Amino acid sequence: MSDPIVGPLRATYAEIARRLDQPQAAERREQLKKDIIALFKTVDQAIADLSGLKEEIRVLVDRYKQLAQGESGDQAPQFTGAVPVMADHIGASTFIQKGWSLISLGDHPGAVQALTKALTLSPGDTQAESLLGWAQMLNEDYDDALQTFQKVLNQEPANSLARINVGYICLKKGIFGEAIEHLSKAIRLDNDKKATLYAHYYLGLVYLEREMYEDAQTFFRKTLQLGPNLIEAYYELGRAFWFSGERNEAKRTWEDGFKANKFNPWGKRCQETLDLVAQGQEPPRS
């Protein structure tokens, strides 16, 4: 903790320690006991308050990520999940939990550093490898992330989240054949709802990039059946309709996306695209 928070508490601690060393300490033991208990309770409450504030900061981070995602067009899988719980392996769990926290907070380089340290302490740990892959991917270190996720899949072929992340990376790198292979396999496995949802969404993006608009529409429609709150699917489905010549259907889809969540950055993007085409302009190609 920083000095403004800890400083006064340490000063109180030092004062009690000084009084314990004085000759009159025995005579004042009841007061000393009360002061020690009071200090303990103050510190304990401060820890509780700071822990609560820490969780509230995560809410701010999530809100910031939504803004950043909408503005940048980033479509990487949203990082969610429970805090990792594991038996300590020569201190590795400390760095794994730190890595998870740093990914959640958006400090991807810091997460890479922490998780790399975890793997030096516990080589081959699948949980650490998976989190490292997430951090590398979100930091756009796609080649490193691809290698890391491949290690995970070598150990856990049915790890659908790792597989859709590989599919996403292949999409970003323009390796469409491999992207289709991994994403289709995740759909066939169907052992993780989030992975199945994103597998359909990314397959839609793959076919949209390849200008196979009917296939793209099929996967975006299925995405919205599985996850109506994935508002970016409305935006992309609208583009698939527009570029296939179905202009009215595209407009209706963007209207639906805005109505679904007008405060979501992707909902706002749907409305912005409607305004754009109303002015006679084309929606973005990418």
Predicted local confidence at residue 114, as pLDDT: 94
Q: How far apart are CA 141 and CA 151, in angstroms?
A: 16
Predicted local confidence at residue 1, as pLDDT: 46
Q: Are 157 and 172 in contact (CB under 8 A)?
A: no
16-27 residue pLDDT tens: 888 888 888 788
Which stretch of 31-45, 74-88, 106-120 has the lowest confidence by average pLDDT? 74-88
Which stretch of 37-41, 56-60, 195-199, 264-268 has the lowest confidence by average pLDDT? 56-60
Q: Are 130 and 158 in contact (CB under 8 A)?
A: no
67-102 residue pLDDT tens: 555 555 566 666 555 555 444 556 688 898 899 888
Q: How far apart are CA 23 and CA 195, in angstroms?
A: 68
Predicted local confidence at residue 76, as pLDDT: 66
How many other C-beta atoms can be found within 10 angstroms of the C-beta atom of residue 95?
22
**R_g over Cα of the chain:** 26
Q: How far apart are CA 214 and CA 205, in angstroms?
A: 12
Q: How far apart are CA 11 and CA 280, in angstroms?
A: 69
Which stretch of 23-37, 134-148, 204-218, 270-284 has the lowest confidence by average pLDDT? 23-37
How many other C-beta atoms can be found within 10 angstroms of the C-beta atom of residue 74?
12
Residues 6+ apart with CB under 8 A from 72: none
With a cut of 80, say whether residue 3 has pLDDT above it: no
With a cut of 50, say whether residue 236 has pLDDT above it: yes
H and E: helices and strands count for the chain:
13, 0
With 0-12 CB in 10 A as exposed, 13-18 as middle and 19+ as buried, what is 240? buried
